[in-house]
Structure 1
Amino acid sequence: MAPNHGTLEDAPFIIAARRSPIGTRGRTLAGLRVEDLAAPVIQAALLDAENVSGSPITVADVVLGNCMGPGGNPGRIAALAAGLGHEVPGATVDRQCGSGLAAIVDAAAAIRAGDERIRVAGGVESPSTAPVRSVNGVAYDRAPFAPTGFSDPSMTQAAENLAALDGISRERQDAHAARSHARARAARDAGCFDAELVPMAGLKYDDAIGAAERLLPRLPALFPGGTLTAGTATRIGDGSAAVVIAPASYARSINAPGLAIRASAVVGCDPALLGIGAAGAIQSALRSAGVELADIDALEIVEAFAAQSLAVIDRIGIDEDDSRLSADGGALALGHPWGASGAVAVVRLFSRLVRSGAPAGTLGVAAASIGGGMGIAAVVEVVR
């Protein structure tokens, strides 16, 4: 897909952003279906937007990412569950782990193309309630990411392969995961997540934070002779995230601070090395925005595995200790609700840049690698 870009003057604005806590699969949020996870977050994001605008928000569409749910168009079901009225449609995007970010990019593209109506976009995933899929009565864990004749490793095996290919040691992976947990724990304790979270089912914060931090050096390898462990693989989680996207003209008329979506890109890569897709997407989106990595003040790159995350940042040329990178911890600490994770990354940027008071012109990047050998990224800019 060609990069999506335009001038800042016509760039769609994210004027509100919320997410649920991420609950480890089978735990606190396990009884909530996708619409139960998404509807309260959509309502909270819209309430934030209305508080900024000072008037009710009319929503043209709800676009949600989801990749392992029950079908039936979760975007539409969530719109109805959120009480938006039967006249508000809904759509669901499946770009696997990039689905939530893809939904935001798609909604923004519709506005940039001339349909200047406000949209809600994001992602939701409930692995705890996802149906068991089968062929001829035989259950399977996932659909293929690639057709017959192509390499199609599991995400875990692909991460192990990347670690071997790039020479990423067990010690480096453990350190990366520990850093993610430590940053998330510090951010939670400092209240950095409070304004973005919509507590539900008694869960106030992401329940994976700190869970594996002390165990990292003692955990066994997942493969004989390998380097990956359960602590350097993110915990699969239930969760949702949503943003309210408005045309630039509307955002300016209400003097709303927010994130302008400067550019985005989706790229493909070898399915055998599916974890590196974010690197190519980031580089393409940066070129489209006309900026360099050195110009970026905050990055949120979905951490599916420590090895995969390190392979991406090595390729784009950023140090793993860089304070711009997932400054409040990433998916290794927060959890990974597949179809929502890309949208969670955008909500995190909104908190880190807009809620924190970063000055106009500050730039951020959200990105994810995707099963099947793809990557997606977006460049955003603070507008005040």
Structure 2
Amino acid sequence: MQSDRDPVIIAARRSPIGTRGRALAQLRVEELAAPVIRAALADAAAANGAPVTVADVLLGNCMGPGGNPGRIAALAAGLGHEVPGVTVDRQCGSGLAAVLDAAAAFRAGDDRMRVAGGVESASTAPVRSVDGIAYDRAPFAPAGFSDPEMTRAAEDLAVHDGISRARQDAHAARSHARARAARSAGRFDAELVPLAGLQHDDAVGGAERLLPRLPALFPGGSLTAGTATRIGDGAAALVLAPAGTAPGLAIRASAVLGCDPALPGIGAAGAIQAALRSAGLDLADIAALEIVEAFAAQSLAVLDRLGIADDDPRLSADGGALALGHPWGASGAIAVVRLFSRLVRAGAPAGTRGLAAASIGGGMGIAAVLEVVR
């Protein structure tokens, strides 16, 4: 449902996604985020015809050092002492949640421009410990609830839904092929801010050739290293402005829902359905979909619940996280950057709609419906 209080994303940039421990491994979260914020603000100033004054910086982050990376990145980007910052943790949906939190301020009547996005440095994330004993992650659910590790949860979902190894391999191969074609055609170039000498996402390549030969991650299972995304380092930043400021993507509707923590991979499906209902739309009205691909089985389970074909050309048309990588707290915002490139930069007419979504650890889903305005 359209409203004159719906904010518009007028600029969208991201870093390349570096596989954990590789090209971006030496960069702290603010060193990833600050150059991307500056690039997005330069684009916004060009679109606006005047410098942009920022009211707040909201960044998603899951595993960082603490100390409020949103504020630290705002200072590192040179925005001045008076610009505050906040960090949002909704796990794999954090970057998109930060965008929706920024949008809420506009709908409450505060029309000052904001930067929203996400950042993750898996390479520099601190080791967590209790009583001197290190652990890989904090729990996603309290005692008494199912709390599977995400790879295990994806395998369980494949079994639950009867999703075959062959189907998962085909989905991952399609993601890699689309990403490789997009990279060759230069479709990532305008959104990327090179960092530490990295010009492009370092996971994109010919991985689909290896998929049939990779061993299962669990005995007798179907999940492999090729159908699970690579954990990555990266950042994304978007500039939100009042309606009428400049062309871009208006945020029309959104939803965040919970689901069974034992099957967290299905969360995006319910959120997508709820966001579409809120917008008064159905999937036939959506021209471009970006659903974070943490695992092939997870993506396919969501598609099945929505009635979307595996090879639907609207879905991650330039490849998804299986090919590009998955910097947890940034991935939801990267999905919106991708929609901006696919729709706004590509010249889609006003009224063209896109949808970004993610399933979330602990059993949640998040989704947003966006519309091109000219």
TM-score normalised to the size of structure 2? 0.99
Q: Which amino acid aligns with 1:27?
A: R
Alpha-carbon distance between aligned partners in 2 of 1:80 and 1:9, rounded to the nearest angstrom = 32
Q: Which runs of 5+ in 1 are unaligned?
A: 1-5
The correspondence for 1:360, drawn from 346, 350, 373, is 350
Kept in 1, the 8 Å contact 2:5–2:106? The answer is: no
Alpha-carbon distance between aligned partners in 2 of 1:350 and 1:154, rounded to the nearest angstrom = 32
Q: Give the drift of 1:8.
A: 3.4
1:85-109 alpha-carbon deviations (Å, 9 max, x no partner): 0000000000000000000000011
Once the two structures are superposed, the pairs formed by residues 334-373 of structure 1 within 5 Å of their partners are: 334-373=324-363
Alpha-carbon distance between aligned partners in 2 of 1:7 and 1:48, rounded to the nearest angstrom = 25
1:237-269 alpha-carbon deviations (Å, 9 max, x no partner): 0000000001114x1xxxx21000000000000
| Equivalent residue pairs, number | 374
Q: Which amino acid aligns with 2:204?
A: I
Following TM superposition, the consecutive aligned residue runs of length 4 or more in structure 1 with deviations greater than 4 angstroms are none
* Alignment correspondent of 1:264: 254
1:13-59 alpha-carbon deviations (Å, 9 max, x no partner): 00000000000000000000000000000000000000111111000
Alpha-carbon distance between aligned partners in 1 of 2:49 and 2:354, rounded to the nearest angstrom = 27
1:151 aligns with 2:146: yes
* Alignment correspondent of 1:12: 7
Alpha-carbon distance between aligned partners in 2 of 1:318 and 1:72, rounded to the nearest angstrom = 41
The correspondence for 1:91, drawn from 86, 91, 115, is 86
**Shift in alpha-carbon separation, 1:118–1:309, aligned structure 2, 3 A:** same
Q: Give the drift of 1:180.
A: 0.1
1:324-361 alpha-carbon deviations (Å, 9 max, x no partner): 00000000000000000000000000000000000000
Q: Which amino acid aligns with 1:155?
A: M
1:55 aligns with 2:45: no
Alpha-carbon distance between aligned partners in 2 of 1:129 and 1:301, rounded to the nearest angstrom = 26
Alpha-carbon distance between aligned partners in 2 of 1:151 and 1:211, rounded to the nearest angstrom = 37
* Alignment correspondent of 1:200: 195
1:290 aligns with 2:280: yes
Kept in 1, the 8 Å contact 2:12–2:340? The answer is: yes
Alpha-carbon distance between aligned partners in 1 of 2:265 and 2:205, rounded to the nearest angstrom = 24
Kept in 2, the 8 Å contact 1:8–1:260? The answer is: no
Q: Compute the RMSD of aligned alpha carbons.
A: 0.7
Q: Give the drift of 1:211.
A: 5.2
Alpha-carbon distance between aligned partners in 2 of 1:185 and 1:275, rounded to the nearest angstrom = 26
**Shift in alpha-carbon separation, 1:284–1:152, aligned structure 2, 3 A:** same
* Alignment correspondent of 1:174: 169
Q: Which amino acid aligns with 1:299?
A: L
* Alignment correspondent of 1:3: none
1:315 aligns with 2:305: yes
Alpha-carbon distance between aligned partners in 1 of 2:132 and 2:207, rounded to the nearest angstrom = 36
Q: Which runs of 5+ in 2 are unaligned?
A: none
Percent identical pairs in the alignment equals 83
